[in-house]
């Protein structure tokens, strides 16, 4: 398997998620990983987010949902911010004290510019190299991990197809590696 993979092992996933919180503290990098894992957004869409997408400056509170126009598909996607995403955003927000039109994931040297995809990849790879046994982890693994664990927790693939804005069930099925995992499970659960 030479393609990007989700992080399947829950212990590795926890270690990966917590790497920039516990082992190498960096609230921006931690927030990037948590947001990627909990929103299923592509890295290009994550990097375009601004604070006013996720925080209501007028009411001084984090939004529960936000609308984004996906860069790749041009489709709108309504994203829910769960507790983990909001908690990571809050910690980062309180450290940064940003203005509403700032990008969330900015360069350390310039708060007016977001980090680029290469830097995001480095952030993800550093955490993965220290915590995950699979070498095929990249920024896209965040998105795939969301779907994989949602599927394992009983979310129907057709609903994930809608979350991902995929054009067909087959695309989602292949994307999550469902066919192979289901086949593997048959072999592992049947010992004759």
**Which residues have a catalytic role annotated?**
42, 72, 140, 143, 166, 175
- Residues found in the chain: 192
What are the start-end ranges of the E strands in the chain? 55-56, 61-62, 65-69, 76-80
What is the greatest pairwise CA distance in the chain?
64
Spatial neighbors of 104 by CB under 8 A, at least 6 apart, are: 31, 35, 49, 50, 51, 53, 54, 89, 92, 98, 114
CA dist 123 and 115 (Å) reads 10
Sign for the pseudo-dihedral over CA of 66, 14, 119, 40? negative
Structure tokens at 158: 């057709």
Q: Is the Cβ–Cβ distance between 62 and 86 less than 8 Å? A: yes
Residues forming beta bridges with residue 76, ordered by sequence position: 69
């Amino acid at each position: 398997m030479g393609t990007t993979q989700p992080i399947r092992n829950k212990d590795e996933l926890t270690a990966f998620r917590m790497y920039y919180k516990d082992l190498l503290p960096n609230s921006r990098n931690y927030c990037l990983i948590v947001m990627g894992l909990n929103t299923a957004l592509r890295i290009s869409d994550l990097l375009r987010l601004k604070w006013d997408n996720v925080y209501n400056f007028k009411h001084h509170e984090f939004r529960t949902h936000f609308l984004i126009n996906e860069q790749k598909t041009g489709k709108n996607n309504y994203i829910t911010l769960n507790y983990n995403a909001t908690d990571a955003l809050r910690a980062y927000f309180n450290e940064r004290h940003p203005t509403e039109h700032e990008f969330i994931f900015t360069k350390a040297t310039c708060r007016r510019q977001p980090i680029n995809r290469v830097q995001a990849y480095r952030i993800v790879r550093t955490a993965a190299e220290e915590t995950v046994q699979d070498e095929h982890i990249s920024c896209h693994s965040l998105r795939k991990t969301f779907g994989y664990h949602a599927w394992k927790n009983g979310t129907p693939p057709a609903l994930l197809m809608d979350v991902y804005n995929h054009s067909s069930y087959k695309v989602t099925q292949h994307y999550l590696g469902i066919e192979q995992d289901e086949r593997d499970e048959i072999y592992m659960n049947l010992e004759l």
